Each structure stands twice: as C-alpha cells, then as structure tokens.
Amino acid sequence: MNTVSADPKGVDSGPHFMDGDQAIAEGALAAGCRFFAGYPITPSTETAERFAERAPEVGALFIQMEDELASIAALIGAAWGGRKAMTVTCGPGFSLMVENIGLAAMTETPLVIANVQRGGPSTGLPTLTAQQDMMQARYGSHGDYAIIAMSPDSPQECFDVAVEAFNLSEFYRVPVIILSDETVGHMHEKVVIPPADQIQVVPRNNYSGPKADFRPYKFDGQGGHPMTQCGDGYHFHITGLTHDERGYPVMTAEQSKIVITHLMEKIRSNADQIIRLDEDQIDGADVVVVSYGITSRIAVKAIQDARREGIKVGSLRLITIWPFCEKRIRELTGKVKAFVVPEINYGQMVLEVERCAAGKSKVISVNHCGGAVHDPEVILDAIRKANQ
C-alpha cells in the first residue's frame, strides 16, 4: 500500500479526552475524509456532530441528509466526485443503507460506514449497547460480495481503526464498516492523536494515463487498482448492473462469474494482509477467549480471574471482524481444548468460530441479548467449563 503523511489540516494532534464516537470523526479527518453525509441516530450522533463542528476549519463538507438511504447514496456520489467520504449510523439506519452498500461493493467505491451498535431488533434499545449487527455488516445487502469490517474496543482504537478503515477502503476500493458499540461509542477516555507526519494514509489513487486505455475496473481478484473522479475527462461509466471492465452492462452468467469472483477474492485472497488481531498468551493455552469490541474489555477480567485459578487461558481479540480470521482459528483448532466466544448477541461470530473449529475443538458461546455488557463472572464460568 502506497502511503503518505496525513494532511495536517485534518489532524488535531495531542492528548484529548473524548468519547469513541468523537474519536471516529477525528480519525476520519486525520485519514483525509473531507465529506460526511449522515442522519442522526443514537448512539452514533456524536460522530456527526463532531464532524459538523470541525468541517469549516478543516475545509471539509458536512451535510445532514433526509435519511440514511440518501446518506449512503451521497457518499457514493462524493467518492466518485473525488473525496474520501464517510457516514455513521446504527442498526435502523444501517438497515436502510444496505441496498447501496451493495451498489458501493459492486461499483468498487471506497467509503467508510461506522455502525455504533445498539440493541435490536427494530427500534430495540435505542440508548443501550449491543453487538447484534455483526452478520448484517457482512451479509446485509443482497447478492454475493465482500466487505471489510473492524471493531474497536476503546476511543483510542476508534481513532486508529478509523484511519485504517480509510486506508483499506482506498486500497481495496471497498466499503469498510466500523462495528463499534454504544459502550465504546459513549465512553470517554484519553485519546492521543499523533502528529500528522506520524499518521500514514493511503491517498486516492486516480488514473492519469491515456483515455483510450482507461478502465474503471480490473477483474483480477486484487486490490490496488486506480479509479477516477468526475471531471477528469475520462467519461467513465459505472452501474450496479453486472458489467465489464469498461463499466458497461454485460448481463450474462459468464460475466457474473468474473465480477463476483473478483469482488470476493480481492478480500479473501488478501485476508492475511487485511486482518489485525490482538493476541495474548495463546501459546500453550488450553482455552482461548475469542472476543471483540467492548466485550473483549469485559473478558479481560474473566481471563485474569481464570489465570489466578491456574487455567491456561489465552485471548484472541478480533480487531478485524471481516474477513474472518479463519486461518488463525484453524491453526489453533485441535491445539486448544476449547474456544469461548462471548458477544452481546444471541451468537453470531461464534458461528464463524464453530465453522473453522469444525468439531475438532469445543466452542462455547456466551451470548447476551443486549442492553448491558456481560457480567465477567458469566464468562469466567464458561472458561472453567471449557477447561474441563
């Protein structure tokens, strides 16, 4: 990935005390995001508010759209208009966005969406935490496509992940989803924003060769391909229809195979480059706790208590949710007695762990229906059970 130092205009360097939502806005600005379109919804609104407040001084544009359908659509327009663009929402708004997440995936449009999760289904628990949209983030839109999703566990990581989300989004030309949660979103902590020259960002990669050779797409299952922007004279065309490399509709089974294979493989075949995990004492562990977001911080207490009881327990924290770290789980499968998967949903990422463990290691789901974080005692019990 070709990177450059961040534009200092968007970087508010120094130590801050802010919540996770605000840190996402700061991370986006640092990464070069200059366009934000959104619609208010708890518990995500603070990101929009922060961006709106900062936009004039940074020279960015903020617009509150009429709904989330419009917000994601405006992002697609802005991305092809030449800007790095983002929006923020939670479940109900994300549900409205999914059709155009598909359009962004299909047209290979870089953009970032933060989903600060609250309890569902439907209006559910507007002000209370959850991690119930993990599968929706991956599979919400119809058809086969792939996205990248990351889950921060602190306001500091909200900042870091936001920068990374933009970088991945630009390189792979894919929507990247930040799966935060109400607790991380509303928790105030110290956030240190580095000086601009210590933040590496992937600049927009616009084509600059001869017009006759320009193609908006290259279906080789890889990232790193240039795009273009309106006004550069290439007269590009993009469509949500199945298309060829010129962007022109070709609606055949053969072309569908070419396009879908590319969309899937550019993420899957680069999973090793994309995935970030945070591991602790996994070597020699009998039990591995697989967690993410706020739940991993709750799990820390349970893991410490278990270790005090003499249980050899490691922690595998998913910073990257999608693509899922299949390879790492498969490596550990058979070596560990069991995986314990606490999450604030009825059991979503645990399905992925079970798939990769393929019956060769026990997998214990510690589910929770939202509205609060786990009681660490419940996770501790699961670790004890896993160790038997």
Partner 1 sequence: MTTDIGKFKHDSPMSGVLRMERMPHIWCPGCGIGSEVNAFAEAIKRSGIDHNKLVVVSGIGCTGRVAGYVDFDSIHTTHGRAIPVATGIKLANPELTVVVFSGEGDLVGIGGNHLIHAARRNMDIVVICNNNFTYGMTGGQVTPTTPTSAITSTTPYGNYEYPFSLPLLADAAGATYIARWTSVNVRNITQSMEEALVHKGFSFIEIISPCTTLYLRRNRLGDGVDMLQYYQENTVLKHGCDTRETAIDFQGKIVVGKFVDKAKPTYLEAVDKCAVRLVGDDYQLYGKTIPEREAEEKAEKERVAARRAVVLAAEQAASEKAAVKAVKKVATKAPVKKVAAKKPAAKKPAVKAAAKKASATAVARKSAVKVVAKKAPATAAAKKTRK
- Which residues of the chain form contacts with partner 1 (CB under 8 A)? 34-35, 37, 55-57, 59-61, 63, 65-67, 69-71, 73-83, 85, 99-100, 103, 107, 229-241, 248-249
Nearer to partner 1, 40 or 59 (CB): 59
Nearer to partner 1, 159 or 236 (CB): 236
As measured in angstroms, the least distance from the Cβ of 206 to partner 1 is: 13
For residues 82 and 92, which CB has a smaller minimum distance to partner 1 in the complex? Answer: 82
Are the beta carbons of 93 and 140 closer than 8 angstroms? no
Q: How far is the CB of 107 from partner 1 (least distance, A)?
A: 8
Kindly give, in sequence order, each residue whose CB lies less than 8 Å from that of residue 294, ignoring residues fewer than 6 positions away. Answer: 129, 131, 153, 181, 183, 184, 344, 373
Q: Judge whether 322 and 288 are in contact, CB under 8 Å.
A: no
Q: CB 78 → partner 1: shortest distance, Å?
A: 4
Chain-centre distance for alpha carbon 142: 18
**Of all helices (H) and strands (E), which one includes residue 322?**
strand 320-322
**What is 299-316 written as a DSSP string?**
HHHHHHHHHHTT--EEEE
Q: How far is the CB of 234 from partner 1 (least distance, A)?
A: 7
Q: How far is the CB of 233 from partner 1 (least distance, A)?
A: 4
Question: CA-CA distance, 208 to 217, in Å (whole number)?
Answer: 14
Of 41, 39, 32, 107, nearest to 77 (Cα)? 107
Shortest distance, position 209 Cβ to partner 1, whole Å:
16
To 5 degrees, how large is the angle CA 185–CA 34–CA 100?
Answer: 70
291-307 burial by CB neighbour count: b if 16+ within 10 A, else e? bbbbbbbbbbebbebbe
Cβ distance to partner 1 smaller for residue 250 or 351: 250
- Least distance between partner 1 and beta carbon 74 (Å): 4
Nearest-approach distance from CB 29 to partner 1, in angstroms: 13
**DSSP class per residue in 83-144:** -EEEEEE-HHHHHHHHHHHHHHHHHT--EEEEEEEEE-STT-EEEEE--TTHHHHHH-SSSS
Say how far apart CA 204 and CA 246 lie, in whole Å. Answer: 20
Name the token pair of 285: 């562990």
The nearer residue to partner 1, 65 or 196, going by C-beta atoms, is: 65
Which is closer to partner 1, CB of 73 or CB of 325?
Answer: 73
Tell me how far, at minimum, the Cβ of 81 lies from partner 1, in Å.
3
Between 83 and 173, name the residue whose CB sits nearer to partner 1.
83
One-letter identity of residue 4: V
Nearer to partner 1, 221 or 249 (CB): 249
Between 63 and 378, CB nearer to partner 1: 63
The two three-digit tokens of residue 60, written as one number: 């960015």
Compute the least distance from the CB of residue 238 to partner 1, in Å. 5
Tokens matching residue 128 = 């209370």
Neighbours of 188 (CB within 10 A): 13
Phi and psi at residue 180, to the nearest 5°: -90, -170
Nearer to partner 1, 35 or 145 (CB): 35
Q: Which is nearer to partner 1, 232 or 381 (CB)?
A: 232
Q: Are 339 and 312 in contact (CB under 8 A)?
A: no
Q: How far is the CB of 235 from partner 1 (least distance, A)?
A: 6
